[in-house]
Amino acid sequence: MDASKGKGDQTMPNPGGQMGKPVGFPFMENMLPKAVKRRVHALKRLQEQCAHIEAKFYEEVHELERKYAILYQPLFDKRREIVTGAVEPTDEECEWPTDEDEEEELAEEVKEKATIEDAKKEEATPEENPKGIPDFWLTIFKSVDMLSDMVQEHDESILKHLRDIQVKFSEPGQPMSFTLEFHFEPNGYFNNAVLTKVYKMKSEPEASDPFSFEGPEIIDCEGCQIDWHKGKDVTVKTIKKKQKHKGRGTVRTVTKQVPNDSFFNFFNPVKASPDGEMDEDSEFNLATDFEIGHFFRERIVPRAVLYFTGEALEDDESFEEEELEEGDEEEQEEEGDDDDEEGDADPKKEQPQPAECKQQ
């Protein structure tokens, strides 16, 4: 379910079966005989009915997600216990296949020696065996580009206290939504044990444009009030300004609080305007917020350990590279088509090299 749904690509296929340049739909329909146009309108009515059936489909998908979330939760609870050090996993639970090539290269006697040395080291310096997996969530936040941009240096000491992130789905019969819960251990920054962010969703075609429906979309979000300890609110900073009296010429220093960049601004989001009228910056910030909430729900929470190790990051980068390569190819093909149409192309002219893909 994409957090930022867009309208479909309004292009018409050409007779050869490939996508040609966009053709205005009203112009296309006006060129049709009256009898054919009438039948096209009948097809549109059928298409609208399909959109409403699709909406029902996604409502049932949401119910399935809610059902299976209950089955996942015991596993996520065990993950939290291991991360926080509440439980120590058994040897059997820690078994995981290793690289066979590396095992073959390492001689048996070297392995035994390494095992003995490790055991001595653990006995001599027990403090080097930390509790749980330190900085588990902070490491994830700093590794993922979308989140690392939000995390400031003054946020890191707070995020070290983050114990778990959970996704809760709306109950049956309630408007479609999901809630992100950030669970913190007691700390010296705020009193909240849990910080929440609710994302409200819509899964129904718009009456004015039913064909734009592509599934559920986030339409609004709501944060929570953080009960900061005195002087610990990292979302604001205190600045001093000098003011000069116009008449007497005396100077005084005043202090004021101004907004400060922080991950914890995530819990005080821009509100969607009921009438849909928003300035460009607010609209961009809200769309970015929706994307981040969607990413937490679909990727970070269910695959946290793979983002901690970096394996999921490699998968994401590979996917982005493939998308870029395909986009470059399509663009070059379109440019080639334009040259053919103009008939000015020099067959001896050197062909342009493919553009380099930039990793994001």
DSSP letters, 90-151, are: -HHHH-----HHHHHHS-HHHHHHHHHHHHHHHHH-GGGS-SSSTTHHHHHHHHSHHHHTT-
pLDDT number for residue 212: 77
Task: Please name the residue that has the structure tokens 């930022």.
Answer: 4
Determine, yes or no, domain membership for 38. Answer: yes
Q: Say how far apart CA 289 and CA 274 lie, in whole Å.
A: 17
pLDDT number for residue 331: 52
At 53, which CATH number?
Answer: 3.30.1120.90
Cβ 82 vs Cβ 132: under 8 Å: yes
pLDDT, greater one: 87 or 16: 87
The rounded mean pLDDT for the chain is 79
Q: Say how far apart CA 350 and CA 236 lie, in whole Å.
A: 57
What's the domain range around 205?
31-87+132-230+261-318
Determine, yes or no, domain membership for 155. Answer: yes
Determine, yes or no, domain membership for 281. Answer: yes
Categorise residue 198: left if φ over 0, alpha if ψ from -120 to 50, beta otherwise: beta
Residue 164 pLDDT greater than 70, yes or no: yes
pLDDT, greater one: 238 or 178: 178
pLDDT number for residue 108: 62
Confidence of residue 21 (pLDDT cuts 50, 70, 90): very low
pLDDT number for residue 302: 96
pLDDT number for residue 276: 67
Across 216-221, average pLDDT: 86
Confidence of residue 253 (pLDDT cuts 50, 70, 90): confident
Confidence of residue 251 (pLDDT cuts 50, 70, 90): confident
pLDDT number for residue 349: 40
Determine, yes or no, domain membership for 342. Answer: no
Confidence of residue 195 (pLDDT cuts 50, 70, 90): very high
pLDDT number for residue 204: 81
pLDDT tens profile 36-67: 988 989 998 999 999 899 888 888 888 899 99
Confidence of residue 270 (pLDDT cuts 50, 70, 90): confident
Supply the pTM of this predicted model. 0.71
Q: Say how far apart CA 155 and CA 164 lie, in whole Å.
A: 16
Determine, yes or no, domain membership for 93. Answer: no
pLDDT tens profile 75-105: 999 999 999 999 999 999 999 887 554 555 5
State the total domains in the chain.
1
pLDDT number for residue 294: 93
Q: Say how far apart CA 291 and CA 6 lie, in whole Å.
A: 13
Determine, yes or no, domain membership for 11. Answer: no
Determine, yes or no, domain membership for 147. Answer: yes
CA angle 324, 325, 326 (to 5 degrees): 90
Determine, yes or no, domain membership for 26. Answer: no
